[in-house]
Structure 1
Amino acid sequence: MTATVSFTIDSPLGPRTATVAYERKGAGEPLLLLHGIGHHLQAWHPVTDVLAGQYDVIAVDLPGFGASAPLPEGVPYDLATVAPALGALCAALGVDRPHVAGNSLGGLLALEMGRTGLARSVTALSPAGFWTQGERRYAFAALRAMRAGARALPRPALERLSRSAAGRAALTSSIYAAPGRRAPEAVVAETVALRDATGFEQTLAAGGSVRFTEDVPGLPVTIAWGVHDRLLLRRQGVRAKRTVPGARLVRLPGCGHVPMHDDPALVSRVVLDTARSATPAVI
């Protein structure tokens, strides 16, 4: 069941209230799951049950995505605002320094939470922020094309396309290695989430100058990259390893940009291995 929580965030405009949708299941140490731009918390559904067998799993819709409200008017969608906001979200849920796993934008946020002491371990799946300017422009152009396509398709046409493997490939091949295996209803839901994402443009605008250039010392970090990632090319993983030299760099065979759907078992193992290697929290 999806619930919502409201909490106070610091912003350049002063304290503001944010409201975020989330799903929570399992027990144990907390594990926060963060999706990518234009996606929603359902991106994690293929792995949630496995992770919840050992952890208190909290999957969130980032502000301005999925069922979460946009950030208050004038509040920027940048790292300096959103990462601390996720820390405030955790505090509102009674959680201190969760393990954090994120994909794409979520991976960048996970690394920033680790860097600023808000996470006890980090698993970053194809994280943003390790691109050249040319690679960033390519990725942003692809994202804008996906968004334009989602907004141009009437719901009946989208549902018709999703019924065939070829149609699902046309809709989602940029982010999955095997889009034809996706369930039609899931493809419809994530395309609608992309179409309706109120934070999409502001997030892209904030990401135009983003480069992750600092180490994340003192905690386990895994950076994992899909071998068939067509959005953020896998060579960016080498740059990420140079930036965070203590990180474990893992290749994900058979996986695209959103690997949780291409190989749930492999992604679950990577996240669990990272979290288990952290020093247990002192209660």
Structure 2
Amino acid sequence: MHHVRSGSGRPVVLVHGLGSSYRNWDPIVGALSAEREVVAVDLPGFGQTPPLKTVTIASLTDALREFLDAEGLSDADIVGSSMGARMVLELARRGHKGTVVALDPGGFWNDRQVKVFGTTITASVALVSRIQGLLPFVTGNPVTRTLALAQFSAAPWKLPQDLVLRELRGFSDETSPSLSDARKALIHGPRQEGAAPGSLLCKVVIGWGRQDLVTPASEAKVAVERFPDAELHWFDKCGHFPHWDQPEKTVDLILSATR
């Protein structure tokens, strides 16, 4: 798996979500690497990592586990966002020993919510795929940037154009070969299993944006019901990516949770 290391100290691994790459974490890597070695990965079929033959949440999680073991990061602290957050919770359920921080994880929706997620994310991917040539213009204007990212951020107009442009370019099967299969796995695959009280071998912190429109805040209740030993942290004025909308508070949460 392609990955980038920065900083020094005890390692912390960053795992992006659907359609993203290791660059999704750019708003917080600098601050984190001032205190820790940061290992930001490209999941299979995203960024610069080749795709798997079979793409499911389980197979992506297996690949992540193999990467951690191969790189001497078996017990490293690990942070995930969205689909990546679901994957790191699955690692915790399987017995991971390093601290796990999951930011707005998927997989805790009910039938209605997953239908809404499937409809909106499929429409978003289709639209962005069709307008790839216009993305520099769309992301260059605060108004159109807000329209394009309203589903993901509580304040899209504040986000840097290059960050938004890279993210939207990842919402294409050409740049992200596993996008369609991973999207279908999220929508139609099994939902995230939980961990019985006392069964986890690690500390788990779940962070949630109160204004999240991708995985609504109501799903946080289900997440803590399935992971009753987890700590729940709320981010105010925050959408689906706390590390975008509240980067300083996200860094503080990661460092305090893993210290």
Q: State if a TM-score over 0.5 links the two structures.
A: yes
TM-score under structure 2 normalisation?
0.93
Label 1:118 to 1:219 Cα distance change in 2 as closer, same or farther (>3 A). Answer: closer
TM-score under structure 1 normalisation?
0.85
The more displaced of 55-64 and 92-101 is: 92-101
Equivalent residue number for residue 272 of structure 1: 255
Identify which of 254, 258, 270 aligns with 2:241: 258
- The question of 1:158 aligning with 2:162 is answered no
- The question of 1:78 aligning with 2:61 is answered no
Offset from partner CA, 1:17-50 (integer Å, 9 cap, x none): xxx2211112222211111111121111111122
| Cα pair 2:97 2:201 within 8 Å, conserved | no
Aligned to 1:194, the other structure's residue is in SS state coil
Equivalent residue number for residue 116 of structure 2: 138
Equivalent residue number for residue 223 of structure 1: 206
The more displaced of 188-197 and 255-264 is: 188-197
- The question of 1:104 aligning with 2:85 is answered no
Identify which of 206, 213, 225 aligns with 1:242: 225
Q: In the TM superposition, what is the alpha-carbon distance from 1:76 to its structure 2 partner?
A: 3.1
Aligned to 2:234, the other structure's residue is in SS state strand
How many residues get paired? 253
Identify which of 14, 22, 26 aligns with 2:7: 26
Q: In the TM superposition, what is the alpha-carbon distance from 1:150 to its structure 2 partner?
A: 1.2
Once residues 175 and 210 of structure 1 are traced to their aligned partners in structure 2, the CA distance between those partners, rounded to angstroms, is: 23
Once residues 202 and 155 of structure 2 are traced to their aligned partners in structure 1, the CA distance between those partners, rounded to angstroms, is: 33
- Which stretches in structure 1 are left out of the alignment for 5+ residues? 1-19, 277-283
Once residues 48 and 262 of structure 1 are traced to their aligned partners in structure 2, the CA distance between those partners, rounded to angstroms, is: 14
Identify which of 122, 136, 150 aligns with 1:173: 150
Aligned to 1:59, the other structure's residue is in SS state strand
Aligned to 2:136, the other structure's residue is in SS state helix
- Which stretches in structure 2 are left out of the alignment for 5+ residues? none
Aligned to 2:102, the other structure's residue is in SS state strand
Relative contact order higher in (CA < 8 Å, ≥ 6 apart): 2
Equivalent residue number for residue 20 of structure 2: 39
Once residues 163 and 102 of structure 1 are traced to their aligned partners in structure 2, the CA distance between those partners, rounded to angstroms, is: 28
The more displaced of 204-213 and 134-143 is: 204-213
Q: Percent identity?
A: 27
Name the Cα RMSD after superposition: 1.4
